[in-house]
Amino acid sequence: MKKSLLALAALTAFAGAASAQSSVTLFGIVDAGIARLSAGGKSVTGMTNSGYNSSRLGFRGVEDMGGGLQAGFWIEGALSNDDGNAAGMNWQRRSTVSLMGGFGEIRLGRDYTPTFWNLTVYDPWGTNGIGQAASIALVPGNQATAVRSNNAISYFLPAMGGFQGQVMYAFGENVSGGAKTNNYLGFRFGYAAGPVSVHAAYAKVEGATDAADVKDMNIAGSFDAGVVKATLVYAQEKNGAGAKATYIEPGIQVPLGAGMFKATYGRYDLKDSSNDFNKIALGYHYNMSKRTTLYTTYARISNKGASAAVVSNNGLAIAGAAGRNASGFEFGVRHAF
3-state secondary structure the chain: CHHHHHHHHHHHHHHHHHHHHEEEEEEEEEEEEEEEEEECCEEEEEEEECCCCCCEEEEEEEEEEECCEEEEEEEEEECCCCCCCCCCCCCCCEEEEEEEECCEEEEEEEEECHHHHHHHHHCCCCCCCCCCCCCCCCCCCCCCCCCEEEEEEEEECCCECCEEEEEEEECCCCCCCCCCCCCEEEEEEEEEECCEEEEEEEEEECCCCHHHCEEEEEEEEEEECCCCEEEEEEEEEEECCCCEEEEEEEEEEEEECCEEEEEEEEEEEECCCCCCEEEEEEEEEEECCCCEEEEEEEEEEEECCCCCCCCCECCECCCCCCCCCEEEEEEEEEEEC
Mean pLDDT of 184-190: 98
Q: So what's the pLDDT on residue 87?
A: 74
Percent of the chain with pLDDT over 90: 85
Q: What angle do CA 277, 278, 279 make, to 5 degrees?
A: 125
Report the pLDDT averaged over residues 316-324: 95
DSSP-derived pairing of the beta strands 292-303 and 326-336: antiparallel
What is the tens place of the pLDDT at every residue in 59-70? 999 999 999 999
More confident residue, 180 or 137: 137
Architecture of domain 48-336: Beta Barrel (2.40)
Label residue 176 by pLDDT band (50, 70, 90). low
pLDDT of residue 7: 45
Average pLDDT over residues 293-317: 95
pLDDT band at 226 (very low <50, low <70, confident <90, very high): very high
Query: For residue 72, is pLDDT > 60?
Result: yes
For 118-127, how does the pLDDT look when each residue is reduced to its tens digit (9 = 90+)?
999 999 999 9
**pLDDT exceeds 50 at position 105:** yes
Structure confidence at residue 25 (pLDDT): 97
17 has pLDDT over 80: no
pLDDT at residue 18 greater than cutoff 50:
no
What pLDDT score was predicted for residue 83? Answer: 87
pTM above 0.85, yes or no: yes
pLDDT at 171 over 70: yes
Spatial separation of the C-alpha atoms in residues 321 and 76, rounded to whole Å:
36
User: If we measure between CA atoms, which residue out of 102, 98, 80 comes closest to residue 89?
Assistant: 80
- The whole-chain average pLDDT of the chain stands at 92
Residues in CB range of 168: below 8 A, 6 or more apart:
111, 113, 114, 149, 152, 153, 154, 155, 184, 185, 186, 187, 203
Domain residue spans of the chain = 48-336
Rounded alpha-carbon distances, angstroms, from residue 142 to 115, 172, 211: 15, 12, 9
Mean pLDDT over 207-220 rounds to 95
Mean pLDDT, rounded, for 292-302: 98
Q: How confident is the model at residue 136 (pLDDT cuts 50, 70, 90)?
A: confident
Residues 6+ apart with CB under 8 A from 80: 49, 55, 86, 87, 314, 315
pLDDT, one tens digit per residue, over 45-56 is 999 999 999 999
Which of 85-89, 161-165, 249-253 shows the lowest per-residue confidence on average (mean pLDDT)?
Answer: 85-89
pLDDT at residue 11 in the model: 41
* Range in 9-23, 44-58, 159-173 with the lowest mean pLDDT: 9-23
Per residue in 86-95, pLDDT (tens digit) is 778 899 999 9
